[in-house]
């Protein structure tokens, strides 16, 4: 895989400083693009310290917990406190894990890897491994057991109608600039939101068949997104920037004229190197104010309405939507955290030091 692709595609890697694992197994030949098409998947190694190694995502499978990360590590917990690594059929870095219900889930990652489970994460099967494509997937969303969407590097968006056995590309001019698509989110109003690098935002009202690009209040990357209420969303990313839309239907679309101006500015070296403010006022979005500049990678919304965001160097920020602000919580941690979920009054996190647990009381 090309070095540039790995750096740009890593959701948090370039910022957190972690290095990608070596390819699982390869032969001597490569194609002209520099992508090694001879890679074949090998099972992840069971490691005694897997729970303290780099983890990138966390999900609930009914009452159980599942975490995924580097070298194909998949961890399972019954209580969010004690974790056990389970066998996985590929040792590629896994970037996301999602569950449709307590039994059916998918884990995705580098080299076009897609893993599937039908028993709540206890066992996994390889659905896809695409060394010829050689890039990562970043998010996956299923509407039912058969129909789902898959988002990844370089503007890749695919759909399936057979539970992930086969995938077909969704073509749209919205993805012409090939941004990495980091977040694929179902909102309370039934619409979908895509968020990614270079301030990319797009919305669909027909389960991903067509997309409308939205005018973005930020030109930097969005690493995370949380649905709130009926059609609300909170997006966050580089330099701790976070933005809230109370009703995504009222967020301004990006016009053709604005898109052309944006592309022209990006291609102009003098303009690209200028110190223009990357944050702007855009209809439908509120910038959540704070003084921190550490990037935010993950977050969780509690049953009581509390919203917590986590990121680099121990940043744990609570969102105050009414005040339009983020407030840093005084917690004794300096861990780099990529994802988080509530467990009562505690916050279960995963990051560069593996699984963590923070008491929020």
Q: In terms of residue numbers, what domain contains 85?
A: 3-23+53-359
* Measured distance CA(187)–CA(231) in Å, rounded: 5
Please check whether residue 32 lies inside any domain of the structure: no
Q: What is the pLDDT of residues 55-75, one digit of tens each?
A: 999 999 999 999 999 999 999
3-class secondary structure, 281 = coil
Give 25 or 292, the one with higher predicted confidence: 292
pLDDT in tens, 88-126: 999 999 999 999 999 999 999 999 999 999 999 999 999
Q: pLDDT per residue over 288-315, tens digit each? A: 999 999 999 999 999 889 999 999 999 9
N-to-C CA span, the chain:
45
pLDDT on residue 90: 97
In a domain, 350, yes or no: yes
When mean pLDDT is compared across 43-57, 80-94, 257-271, the lowest value belongs to: 257-271
DSSP assignment, residue 137? E
What distance in Å separates the CA atoms of residue 69 and residue 116, rounded to the nearest whole number? 15
- Does residue 30 sit within a domain? no
Residue 39, in any domain of the structure: no
Q: Alpha-carbon distance 343 to 95, whole Å?
A: 22
Which CATH number is 82's domain given?
A: 2.130.10.10
Position 188 in a domain: yes
Residue 6's pLDDT band, with cuts at 50, 70 and 90, is very low
Instruction: Look at residue 261 in the predicted model and tell me its pLDDT.
Output: 85
In a domain, 47, yes or no: no
* pLDDT reading at 269 higher than 90: no
Model confidence at 25, pLDDT cuts 50, 70, 90, reads very low
Cα distance between residue 290 and residue 333, in whole Å:
19
Q: Tokens 């929020």 sit at which residue? A: 360
Q: Is the pLDDT of residue 180 over 50?
A: yes
Residue 65 sits at the vertex; the CA angle it makes with 59 and 66, to the nearest 5 degrees, is 60
User: What distance in Å separates the CA atoms of residue 232 and residue 322, rounded to the nearest whole number?
Assistant: 13
163's CB contacts (< 8 A; 6+ apart) are 116, 145, 146, 148
Q: Which residues contact 61 (CB under 8 A, 6 or more apart)?
A: 99, 102, 103, 105, 120, 121
Q: In total, how many domains does the chain have?
A: 1
Find the radius of gyration of the CA atoms of the chain.
Answer: 19
What is the CB-side half-sphere exposure of residue 160 using CA atoms within 13 A?
21
Residue 35 lies in a domain: no
Residue 276 in domain: yes
pLDDT single digits (tens) 130-161: 988 989 999 999 999 999 999 999 999 999 99
Please answer whether residues 76 and 65 qualify as being in contact, where contact means their C-beta atoms are separated by less than 8 angstroms: yes
Q: How confident is the model at residue 272 (pLDDT cuts 50, 70, 90)?
A: low
Residue with tokens 């988080």: 340
Predicted confidence at residue 151, as pLDDT, reads 98
């Amino acid at each position: 895989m090309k070095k540039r692709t790995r750096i740009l595609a890593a959701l948090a890697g370039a910022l957190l400083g972690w290095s990608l694992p070596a390819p699982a197994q390869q032969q001597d030949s490569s194609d002209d693009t520099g992508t090694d098409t001879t890679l074949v998947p090998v099972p992840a190694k069971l490691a005694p310290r897997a729970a303290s190694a780099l983890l990138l995502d966390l999900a609930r499978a009914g009452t159980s917990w599942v975490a995924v990360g580097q070298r194909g590590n998949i961890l399972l917990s019954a209580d969010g406190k004690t974790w056990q690594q389970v066998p996985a059929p590929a040792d590629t870095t896994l970037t996301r894990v999602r569950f449709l219900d307590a039994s059916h889930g998918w884990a995705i990652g580098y080299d076009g890897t897609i893993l599937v489970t039908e028993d709540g994460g206890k066992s996994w099967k390889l659905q896809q491994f695409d060394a010829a494509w050689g890039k990562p997937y970043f998010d996956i969303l299923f509407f039912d057991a058969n129909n789902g969407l898959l988002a990844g590097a370089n503007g890749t968006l695919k759909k399936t109608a057979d539970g992930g056995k086969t995938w077909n590309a969704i073509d749209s001019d919205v993805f012409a600039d090939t941004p990495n698509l980091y977040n694929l989110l179902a909102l309370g109003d039934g619409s979908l939101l895509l968020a990614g690098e270079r301030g990319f935002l797009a919305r669909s009202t027909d389960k991903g068949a067509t997309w409308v690009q939205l005018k973005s209040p930020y030109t930097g990357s969005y690493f995370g997104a949380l649905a709130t209420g009926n059609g609300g969303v909170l997006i966050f990313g580089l330099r701790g920037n976070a933005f809230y839309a109370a009703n995504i239907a009222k967020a301004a679309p990006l016009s053709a004229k604005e898109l052309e101006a944006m592309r022209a500015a990006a291609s102009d070296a003098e303009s690209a190197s200028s110190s223009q403010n990357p944050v702007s006022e855009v209809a439908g979005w509120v910038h959540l104010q704070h003084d921190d500049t550490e990037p935010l990678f993950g977050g969780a919304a509690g049953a009581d309405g509390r919203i917590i965001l986590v990121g680099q160097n121990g940043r744990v920020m609570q969102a105050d939507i009414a005040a339009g602000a983020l407030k840093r919580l005084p917690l004794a941690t300096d861990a780099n955290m990529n994802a988080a979920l509530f467990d009562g009054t505690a916050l279960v996190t995963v990051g560069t030091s593996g699984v963590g647990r923070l008491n929020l009381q």
